[in-house]
């Protein structure tokens, strides 16, 4: 019913008359001047780029068959993608990821969409769909000199379709396994000089079903509704206004009744919004000025009712846990690009940002936590000699959780021959602690006090820092249709922010006072006492599911209390070194089609007081292969092969080696004034596999899709 309602509303909007003015009649002299190259603030070709960039172009997006944005990152060498029923999908770059990946900056058209609390990305809640994306530019290494502390291990810039790229209307429908259903509608045109593109979608799926023979499985069922608008207004040949707005609303159903003794599955309602207004002007001598305003916000609402496993000793009937969360981000950015000489291009700018988060669960007792961050940045590209290009960049930044930070970068590009470039680059950068790392106090309050404590911050953290060096090569062999993009890199991390546990429960023994375990028939000790005072009201009620707890007043000596006798703290560990190599071959053949082969080699070494799980937080080897081919008669075929070696997510979960095989078969139909495509996609064709944890099974899935476009 909801799908039908959305379809009716969108079709009514698409029926509005459009201007008949063609895009060719409005040829713009400064096409896409507002879209900055992701590797720097300058419009540079890949051969001029100061950092390694992998581009997922529109053809690759279409051929991959992926219906979710985060899945497209499987194509990027060195990136790991993990599906989890417990929270948003995980995306990291060569390791050091956990349940809240926060070391890669994710942007939509140059604006950060990180969660202000954790620094991660809620991938399923982004207010746009795969069909709204023109391409994704991925910087595969540190890029703080351009974007600041959030770009610690790289940048993912999702670039949306321009209204002038595709005008008219389109409908896409998907239906398949795991209750997969989606309807997407898009319209676009030009009215009174305003080019616009509006899309809406409704989708639902049970990504992690509870199997009949595995009642302990975790459930994840999602329902989402999105609206995305992008509009451009160019009143003359020097000015441009751009408006972008997005909304995502939905509900997640998650949980594990057998382990958590829940009254019902956890139902979480979530709403995400973004609003962006950009103005740009061409000035004399090719210089450009742009001003950008950006707002994003998110609300999560959910209450979990925890039931006792032993009602006779439980002091209350249930524990209601409120995990509501509100966050917002507001930014103002000014940038000036200019060309003082024919061989020199530069950019200068500044940005100020305000973040605010409120949650009684994650920031217990703190109310609204807010902060202001400012940046001053600069980039320069100087062609100082034949076949030599020097790139310099720097970011001066004051984050609300750090002192003043400066991140420099230098890159030297040498043209060996036409289409063949050698790049040498290096620099230093930082990552500021997130609001949750610096202030997080994750508690479970109820009418009798605090039933449990998870994360509890008690001291200030130093920012993470890194030094990096890279040697890259780009080659174009036009005679055989081959492009090569490879590099060697080394990264040295210091003050890495990690998590460790401590004993919070006053009655639980520590290393210094072990007790004899009748269960394990050996002395049992749990760790060290927490370095902070037990929060007021902390009293884990007995009778509720939790970790084993020694109680001498009970006959058998053991029972369950709610939650864990532990708490967790963030701390600055010692050094980590990551080195490796990655290579991408992009080959186009007139008869065989297009092949994109990527391979990454990663090695991690941890030193000092650093969790050794970090050393296996990325696979030693990972490979992706995407093949696509157009056949006579409107037939298209594509296949994706993804091999990922063993790794361990730093939260402590093993991910075994797996191979994923996807196939897609499509047929296009052209008619006067309209065209369509019908496709069948088979994912995990070679069988299911575990991601993040062995029991989190990514099952085989088959779905059909139908797309129809008309004017």
Q: What tens digit of pLDDT does each residue of 530-558 get?
A: 999 999 999 888 888 877 665 554 555 56
Q: What is the mean pLDDT of residues 270-297?
A: 95
Residue 427, pLDDT > 80, answer yes
CA 526 – CA 538 distance, rounded (Å): 19
Q: What is the mean pLDDT of residues 420-444?
A: 97
CA 667 – CA 638 distance, rounded (Å): 12
pLDDT number for residue 414: 98
pLDDT number for residue 16: 39
The per-residue DSSP string of 4-34 comes to HHHHHHHHHHHTS------GGGG--TTTTTT
DSSP reduced 3-state for 439 = helix
Range with lowest mean pLDDT among 473-482, 561-570, 578-587: 561-570
CB of 143 within 8 A of CB of 105? yes
Joined together, the tokens standing for residue 153 give 């291990």
pLDDT number for residue 703: 98
Q: What tens digit of pLDDT does each residue of 244-265 get?
A: 999 999 999 987 765 556 656 7
Joined together, the tokens standing for residue 186 give 């898009």
Range with lowest mean pLDDT among 46-50, 484-488, 523-527, 573-577: 523-527
Residues 6+ apart with CB under 8 A from 54: 75, 76, 77, 137, 138, 140, 485, 584, 598
pLDDT number for residue 459: 93
**Residue 259 dihedral angles phi and psi, to the nearest 5°:** -85, -35
Joined together, the tokens standing for residue 483 give 């492009």
CB of 44 within 8 A of CB of 381? yes
Indicate the helix (H) or strand (E) that contains 3: helix 2-14
pLDDT number for residue 29: 33
pLDDT number for residue 559: 64
Residue 510, pLDDT > 90, answer no
**Mean pLDDT (the chain, rounded):** 89
Torsion over CA of 373, 376, 381 and 384, rounded to 10 degrees?
-140
559-592 burial: b if 16+ Cβ within 10 Å, else e: bbbbbbbbbbbbbbbebbebbbbbbbbbbeeeee
Residue 23, pLDDT > 80, answer no
Q: What sign has the CA pseudo-torsion 140, 141, 147, 152? A: positive
pLDDT number for residue 165: 84
- Residues of the chain with pLDDT > 90, as a percent, come to 73
Residue 6, pLDDT > 90, answer no
Residue 24, pLDDT > 70, answer no
Q: What is the mean pLDDT of residues 406-418?
A: 97
Q: What is the mean pLDDT of residues 593-622?
A: 93
Q: What tens digit of pLDDT does each residue of 336-392 get?
A: 999 999 999 999 999 999 999 999 999 999 999 999 999 999 999 999 999 999 999
What's the pTM value of the predicted model, to 2 decimals?
Answer: 0.92
What is the pLDDT confidence band of residue 512, given thresholds at 50, 70 and 90? Answer: low
List the one residue out of 570, 658, 647 whose CA is nearest residue 614. 647
What is the pLDDT confidence band of residue 317, given thresholds at 50, 70 and 90? Answer: confident
pLDDT number for residue 260: 56
pLDDT number for residue 19: 35
**Residue 8 dihedral angles phi and psi, to the nearest 5°:** -65, -45
**Chain centroid to CA 347: how far?**
27
Range with lowest mean pLDDT among 62-76, 370-384, 445-459, 486-500: 445-459
pLDDT number for residue 710: 93
Q: Name residue 661's beta-bridge partners.
A: 641
pLDDT number for residue 153: 96
Joined together, the tokens standing for residue 520 give 């394990």
CA 449 – CA 444 distance, rounded (Å): 8
pLDDT number for residue 267: 86
Residue 613, pLDDT > 90, answer no
List the one residue out of 221, 286, 275 whose CA is nearest residue 246. 275
Q: Would you report the helix, strand and coil content of the chain in percent, each value rounded to 5?
A: 10, 55, 35
pLDDT number for residue 22: 35
pLDDT number for residue 116: 96
What is the pLDDT confidence band of residue 34, given thresholds at 50, 70 and 90? Answer: very low
In eight-state DSSP terms, residue 302 is -
Q: What is the mean pLDDT of residues 456-473?
A: 96
pLDDT number for residue 258: 57
Residue 668, pLDDT > 80, answer yes
pLDDT number for residue 210: 82
Question: What structural domains does the chain harbor?
Answer: 2-496+573-710 (2.40.170.20)
Q: What is the mean pLDDT of residues 486-502?
A: 95
Residue 279, pLDDT > 80, answer yes
List the one residue out of 245, 248, 252 whose CA is nearest residue 230. 245
Planar angle of CA 335, 338, 343, nearest 5 degrees: 140
What is the pLDDT confidence band of residue 3, given thresholds at 50, 70 and 90? Answer: very low
What is the pLDDT confidence band of residue 314, given thresholds at 50, 70 and 90? Answer: confident
Joined together, the tokens standing for residue 462 give 């130093």
């Amino acid at each position: 019913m909801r799908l039908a309602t959305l379809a009716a509303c969108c079709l009514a909007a698409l029926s509005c008359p459009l201007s008949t003015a063609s895009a060719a009649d409005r040829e713009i002299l400064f096409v896409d001047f507002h879209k900055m190259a992701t590797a720097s603030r300058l419009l540079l070709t890949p051969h001029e780029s100061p950092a390694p960039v992998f581009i997922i172009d529109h053809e690759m997006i279409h051929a991959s068959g992926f219906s979710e944005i985060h899945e497209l990152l499987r194509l990027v060498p060195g990136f790991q993608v993990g599906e989890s029923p417990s929270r948003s999908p995980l995306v990291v770059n060569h390791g050091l990821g956990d349940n809240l990946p926060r070391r890669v900056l994710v942007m939509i058209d140059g604006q950060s969409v990180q969660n202000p609390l954790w620094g991660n990305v809620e991938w399923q809640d982004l207010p746009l769909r795969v069909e709204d994306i023109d391409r994704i530019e991925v910087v595969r290494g540190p890029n703080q000199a351009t974007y600041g502390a959030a770009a610690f291990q790289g940048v993912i810039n999702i670039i949306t379709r321009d209204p002038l790229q595709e005008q008219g209307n389109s409908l896409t429908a998907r239906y398949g396994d795991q209750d997969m259903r989606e309807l997407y509608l898009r319209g676009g045109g030009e009215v009174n000089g305003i080019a616009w593109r509006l899309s809406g979608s409704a989708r639902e799926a049970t990504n992690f079903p509870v199997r009949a023979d595995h009642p302990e499985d975790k459930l994840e069922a999602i329902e989402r509704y999105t609206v995305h608008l992008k509009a451009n207004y160019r009143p003359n040949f020097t000015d441009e206004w751009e408006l972008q707005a997005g909304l995502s609303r939905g509900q997640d159903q998650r949980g594990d009744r057998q382990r958590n003794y829940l009254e019902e599955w956890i139902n979480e309602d979530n709403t995400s919004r973004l609003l962006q207004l950009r103005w740009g002007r061409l000035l004399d001598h090719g210089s450009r000025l742009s001003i950008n305003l950006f707002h994003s916000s998110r609300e999560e609402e959910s209450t979990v009712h925890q039931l006792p496993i032993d009602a006779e000793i439980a002091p209350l009937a249930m524990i209601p846990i409120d995990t509501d969360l509100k966050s917002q981000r507001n930014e103002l950015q000014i940038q000036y690009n200019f060309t003082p000489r024919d061989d020199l291009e530069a950019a200068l700018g500044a940005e100020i940002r305000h973040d605010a988060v409120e949650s009684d669960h994650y920031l217990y007792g703190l109310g609204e936590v807010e902060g202001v961050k400012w940046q001053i940045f600069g980039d320069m590209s100087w062609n100082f000699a034949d076949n030599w290009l020097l790139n310099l960049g720097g970011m001066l930044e004051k984050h609300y959780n750090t002192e003043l930070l400066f991140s420099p970068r230098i890159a030297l590009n040498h043209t060996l021959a036409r289409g063949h470039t050698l790049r040498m680059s290096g620099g230093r950068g930082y990552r500021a602690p997130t609001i949750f790392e610096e202030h997080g106090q994750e508690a479970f309050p109820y009418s009798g006090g605090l039933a449990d404590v998870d994360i509890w911050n008690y001291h200030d953290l130093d920012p993470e820092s890194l030094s990096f060096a890279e040697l890259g090569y780009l080659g174009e062999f036009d005679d055989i249709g081959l492009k090569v993009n490879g590099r060697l890199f080394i990264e040295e991390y210091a003050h890495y922010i990690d998590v460790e546990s401590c004993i919070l429960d006053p009655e639980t023994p520590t290393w210094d006072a072990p007790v004899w375990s009748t269960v394990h028939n050996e002395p049992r000790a749990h760790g060290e006492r927490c370095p902070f005072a037990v929060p007021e009201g902390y009293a884990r009620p007995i009778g509720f599911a939790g970790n084993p707890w020694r109680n001498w007043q009970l006959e058998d000596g053991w029972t369950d209390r709610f939650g864990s006798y532990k708490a967790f703290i963030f701390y600055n560990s010692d050094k980590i070194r990551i080195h490796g190599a990655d290579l991408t071959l992009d080959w186009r053949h007139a008869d065989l089609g297009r092949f994109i082969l990527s391979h990454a080699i990663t090695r991690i070494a941890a030193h000092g007081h650093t969790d050794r799980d970090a050393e296996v937080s990325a696979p030693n080897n990972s490979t992706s292969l995407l093949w696509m081919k157009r056949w006579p008669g409107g037939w298209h075929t594509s296949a994706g092969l993804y091999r990922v070696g063993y790794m361990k997510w730093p939260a402590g979960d093993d991910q075994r080696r797996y191979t994923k095989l996807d196939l897609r078969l499509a047929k296009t139909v052209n008619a006067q004034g309209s065209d369509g495509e019908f496709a069948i996609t088979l994912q995990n064709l070679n069988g299911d596999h575990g991601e993040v944890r062995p029991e989190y099974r990514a099952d085989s899935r088959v779905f059909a899709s139908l797309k129809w476009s008309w004017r």
